Amino acid sequence: AGSLLRHALSPTAPRPRAPTRASRIHTPRASSSGESPPLGGPVYVDERDGSTPASKMADDLCSSRSKVIDVDVKHATPWLEFRSLTYLDPTGATRRWDMVGRATRSESAKSKGIDAVCVFATLRKKGEEDTTLLVRQFRPPMNGETIELPAGLVDADEDPIVAALRELKEETGYVGTVAGGDEATGGGGNGKGDGDGIGKEGEASTRDGVEAITPALPLSPGLSNETVALVRVDVDLDAPENANPKQQLEGSEFITVLRVPIAGLRRTLDAFAARGYNVFAGLYTMALGMEMGEGR
C-alpha cells in the first residue's frame, strides 16, 4: 500500500523553468507551410474553450515531441525496478533519466493500467455527521508515520473497484459499497458480480453524476510511472457487518485507523502535521479542494 514519495532525478535530466505569468496564448504562429513553430521560450495556452487551433498547435510544441527510446533495468526486486531511461528531447538530442517503477503492474485489461487504489470512504450513521477513514502507519522511506487514505496495490487481473473494497476491509475492517451504486445501477455496490454498482464498462457512477473511480493518476511523475485511482465508497454504520469492524492485516502491516469528520478535513490534517505526522500530498490536496469548493 502507498506510494513512492522521494524524488531522485538524474543529474543530467532537464529541469524546466516555471512560467512567470499566464496569458491566453503566447506561442509562435505556425508557418503557412504547415511547419511547427520554432522551439524556445515558455508556452502558454488557455484551454477554457476546449480544443482550439491554439491548443492544437501547442500539442506539437516542446515536450510533446519527446519520447523514450530505451529502458535499461539496472536493479530489480519482486516489488520494484530501478530503470535508466534514454529519451529524445524536442530538439532530437538524446538525454538520460533515472526512475523507479512498480514490478507488480498487471497488463490485464481489468486493471486499466492502475497500480494502486486509495479509498475515500463516507461513513454514515443516522443522527450523526458524516465521517471518513484515515490510516496512520510507519513508512520506512520517510522514517516516520504518515496520514493517508486506506490504500493498496491492485492484484493481477483484479478490477480496481474490487481492489478498493478489499483494501478497505483489510485495513480498516469496514465493509463498503461503491458510492451511489444502489441508485446508479440498482445493485448493492459490493464490487462482486451483478448489482455491484459497476457499469458495463467497469465504471461506477454516483448520484451526483461524478464517477466513483478516477482515471489512473500519476503519483510522482518525475520519479516513477506509478499510478493510483481514487475510489469513493459509502459505509453504512447502521449495517450489522459494520457493528464490530476487525482489520485483516498482513504480518508486516501495523495500521491505526482514524475516524474523522469530513467537515473541516483540511484543518484536521493541519493538526496532524503540527503533531509531526507526514500527511500524504494527495489527501491534503483533496481536502483543500473540498474546502475551496465550499467557498471557505
> Which pLDDT does position 210 carry in this prediction?
73
The DSSP bridge pattern shows strands 278-279 and 227-236 to be unpaired
The DSSP bridge pattern shows strands 177-178 and 131-139 to be unpaired
Nearest-angstrom CA–CA distance, 40 and 228: 34
Q: Is 181 helix (H, G, I), strand (E, B) or coil?
A: helix
Question: What CA–CA distances, in Å, run from 23 to 20, 36, 44, 219?
Answer: 10, 21, 6, 28
The mean per-residue pLDDT over the stretch 77-104 comes to 95
The mean per-residue pLDDT over the stretch 86-111 comes to 92
According to DSSP, residue 240 is labeled G
Question: What band does 94 get if pLDDT is binned at 50, 70 and 90?
Answer: very high
Tell me the whole-structure pTM to 2 decimals.
0.76
The mean per-residue pLDDT over the stretch 183-192 comes to 38
User: Residue 293 phi/psi, 5° resolution?
Assistant: -65, -25
pLDDT tens-digit readout, 136-147: 999 999 999 999
The mean per-residue pLDDT over the stretch 236-241 comes to 98
> Which pLDDT does position 9 carry in this prediction?
32
Contact between residue 75 and residue 81 where contact means Cβ atoms under 8 Å apart: yes
Nearest-angstrom CA–CA distance, 142 and 85: 26
Contact between residue 124 and residue 100 where contact means Cβ atoms under 8 Å apart: no
pLDDT tens-digit readout, 240-262: 999 999 999 999 999 999 999 99
Question: What band does 64 get if pLDDT is binned at 50, 70 and 90?
Answer: confident
Place of cell 485483516: 248
Question: What band does 186 get if pLDDT is binned at 50, 70 and 90?
Answer: very low
Question: What band does 160 get if pLDDT is binned at 50, 70 and 90?
Answer: very high
Dihedral sign computed on CA atoms, order 201, 152, 226, 213:
positive
> Which pLDDT does position 65 carry in this prediction?
81
